[in-house]
């Protein structure tokens, strides 16, 4: 009987070791980090690279809280119905317009650092209390090796960049966002695209944050060039 107990104990220990090995390098949503808001912007007019304020970082960890290097990350915008991705080429990531999604891999520290370029489809033609259709909280889904880590709200610097000739952040975006704030104040549904202070509500405080964004774009250090790469304008995803 003692021998059977020892064998059973040994098998149990082996089973735990095998489970631990299998679980290693498998992303754990509870241990990984996915900030709840992502700022979608454009290129700087002065440097021709993404606006530095839109950097977004995902950290992927396993069940033991160890960072996972080389994990395949997908930022899926399929449910962000009022956000269109920019097709401009940015080193270290790819854009898939059919999904639509942005894909990249984690570094040695388990980090996926990305600047997502894109714009809203808000035409600016709606008068409060009416508001352009769009997504609310948590429309963007983050996946690591096919495992969903969390949902994220998409905030769009450029309100009308993907429609008409509005490419690039400027004063018109402030006017359009002001209309969103007015409509939501009158009872319209929350729209993540205008939540510039990242607090789950859209009001006058967001206009103050957008004013800073518009100012930086005017000085060439923000998202004034919109969807651009190498000094040339690029198309948005269909």
156-197 pLDDT tens trace: 999 999 997 779 999 999 999 999 999 999 999 999 999 999
Task: State the pLDDT at residue 231.
Answer: 82
Integer Cα distance of 196 and 213 in angstroms: 9
Q: What pTM was estimated for this model as a whole? A: 0.89
Name the band, by pLDDT with cuts 50, 70 and 90, for residue 2.
Answer: low
Q: Could you tell me if 221 and 46 are in contact, meaning their C-beta atoms sit under 8 angstroms apart?
A: yes
Provide the token pair at 49.
Answer: 């690279």
Name the band, by pLDDT with cuts 50, 70 and 90, for residue 17.
Answer: very low
Distance of CA 233 to the CA centre of its chain: 22
b/e map 92-113, b = 16+ CB within 10 Å: ebebeeeebbbbbebeeebbbe
Alpha helices in the chain (DSSP H): 2-23, 171-185, 204-218
Taking only the tens place, the pLDDT of each residue in 77-124 is: 999 999 999 999 999 999 999 999 999 999 999 999 999 999 999 999
């Amino acid at each position: 009987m003692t021998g059977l107990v020892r064998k059973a104990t040994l098998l149990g220990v082996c089973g735990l070791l095998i489970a631990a090995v299998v679980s290693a390098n498998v992303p754990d949503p509870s241990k990984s980090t996915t900030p709840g808001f992502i700022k979608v912007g454009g290129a700087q007019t002065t440097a021709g690279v993404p606006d530095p304020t839109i950097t977004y970082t995902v950290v992927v960890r396993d069940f033991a809280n160890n960072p996972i290097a080389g994990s395949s990350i997908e930022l899926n915008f399929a449910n962000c119905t009022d956000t269109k991705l920019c097709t401009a080429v940015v080193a270290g990531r790819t854009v898939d317009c059919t999904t639509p999604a942005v894909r990249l891999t984690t570094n040695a520290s388990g980090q996926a650092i990305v600047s997502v370029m894109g714009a809203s489809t808000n035409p600016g033609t709606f008068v409060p209390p009416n508001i352009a259709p769009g997504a609310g909280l948590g429309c963007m889904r983050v996946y690591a090796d096919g495992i969903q880590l969390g949902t994220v709200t998409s905030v769009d610097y450029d309100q009308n960049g993907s429609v008409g000739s509005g490419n690039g952040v400027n004063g018109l975006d402030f006017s359009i966002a002001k209309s969103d704030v007015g409509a939501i104040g009158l009872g319209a549904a929350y729209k993540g695209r205008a939540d510039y202070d990242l607090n789950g509500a859209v009001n006058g405080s967001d206009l103050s944050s957008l004013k800073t964004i518009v100012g930086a774009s005017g000085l060439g250090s923000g998202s004034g060039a919109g969807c651009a790469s190498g000094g040339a304008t690029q198309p948005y995803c269909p």
